[in-house]
A = this chain, B = another copy of it.
């Protein structure tokens, strides 16, 4: 587990979009960060206190989190002085970049010298078992999408927030870099070796109290040919009791695949449920989460009502309306 509180490093971010990871941490774990570190020329601002390394340590920060991605996902040379200072003063560093912290000789040496840990959350740290398919105690919910990047992580985090507000037992279980940095732990499923994918999901969602819900972060889509194997492993390793269908209604084609169209929600429901029931015959689809960010509020309301009537399932945009109705459905499960 990555130790909190964090100092969010925004570096020389050219715009807000480049700090997506930091925004995710601030939105979903507002108490996890003491402040932000911005270098000269940084065009992003999370509205957190600007801090030097010394000020952050004074405020209790344990880990500097690289909350910015530059072109190519590399560790910029211009960041090095700051990162080295953080290590020298005893902070850990966490990163989800493609280029690994531990492959930078100067950072690796400084971390060793000062007894600090470098967390490269793209790399699995554990050897996972092959999945055994045994029924586990506790309950699990998995969002599945008509496409990649349709709001599966957001849906899971929004449901967890609502469940905690209601005093329900639940844990968001990250399976991707951003989710891991937001919560401090999880499994970078897309970096796990094929044979161990489903086993890693079993490991991530162990036996639990009968009334506890794991909210597993979804990945890819059964209908996205590049990543469908990862989604399949989530469905069978996660043995979900409940699925939430996730959709973004304005896509012209599948993300990154110009020749492929999104499936209908009916088709996603039928295929995902058939496969999920292999591992858990009691699995049900309990609701639909639609990312309506590219629709006006009136269009969104109309679209959600239409889908709800067609599918006969609670249909919400958790960003606009909260995840209350999805949690109601889960509670009734």
Interface residues of A (CB under 8 A from B): 130-135, 189-195, 197-199, 222-223, 225-233, 235-237, 239, 256-257, 259-260, 263, 271, 274-275, 278-279
Quick one: copies of this chain in the complex?
2
> Quick check: A225 and B278 within 8 Å, CB to CB?
yes
Which residues of chain B are within 8 angstroms of A225 by Cβ–Cβ distance?
A: 131, 133, 198, 236-237, 239, 278-279
Which residues of chain B are within 8 angstroms of A226 by Cβ–Cβ distance?
A: 130-133, 198-199, 236
> Quick check: A132 and B278 within 8 Å, CB to CB?
no
> Quick check: B198 and A191 within 8 Å, CB to CB?
no
Which residues of chain B are within 8 angstroms of A230 by Cβ–Cβ distance?
A: 194-195, 229
Which residues of chain B are within 8 angstroms of A199 by Cβ–Cβ distance?
A: 226
Which residues of chain B are within 8 angstroms of A133 by Cβ–Cβ distance?
A: 225-226, 257, 259-260
Which residues of chain B are within 8 angstroms of A260 by Cβ–Cβ distance?
A: 133, 278
- Closest residue of chain B to A189, judged by CB? B194
In the bound complex, CA of A194 to CA of B194 (Å): 5
- Closest residue of chain B to A238, judged by CB? B225
> Quick check: B278 and A223 within 8 Å, CB to CB?
yes
> Quick check: B271 and A229 within 8 Å, CB to CB?
no
Shortest C-beta distance, A140 to chain B (Å), equals 14
Q: From B190, B191, B223, B274, give the contact of A271 (CB < 8 A).
A: B274
- Closest residue of chain B to A271, judged by CB? B274
In the bound complex, CA of A278 to CA of B132 (Å): 29
Which residues of chain B are within 8 angstroms of A134 by Cβ–Cβ distance?
A: 259
- Say whether, besides A191-B193, A192-B194, A194-B191, A232 and B237 are in contact (CB < 8 Å): no
Which residues of chain B are within 8 angstroms of A189 by Cβ–Cβ distance?
A: 194
Which residues of chain B are within 8 angstroms of A271 by Cβ–Cβ distance?
A: 271, 274-275
In the bound complex, CA of A88 to CA of B333 (Å): 67
Interface centre among A135, A227, A260 (most CB of B within 10 A): A227
- Say whether, besides A225-B133, A225-B279, A236-B225, A193 and B195 are in contact (CB < 8 Å): no
> Quick check: A198 and B222 within 8 Å, CB to CB?
no
- Closest residue of chain B to A135, judged by CB? B259
In the bound complex, CA of A223 to CA of B194 (Å): 16
25 contacts between A and B (CB under 8 A): A132-B226, A132-B256, A134-B259, A135-B259, A190-B193, A192-B193, A193-B193, A194-B194, A194-B233, A195-B227, A195-B230, A198-B226, A198-B228, A198-B229, A199-B226, A222-B275, A223-B278, A225-B236, A225-B237, A225-B278, A228-B235, A229-B229, A229-B230, A229-B231, A271-B274
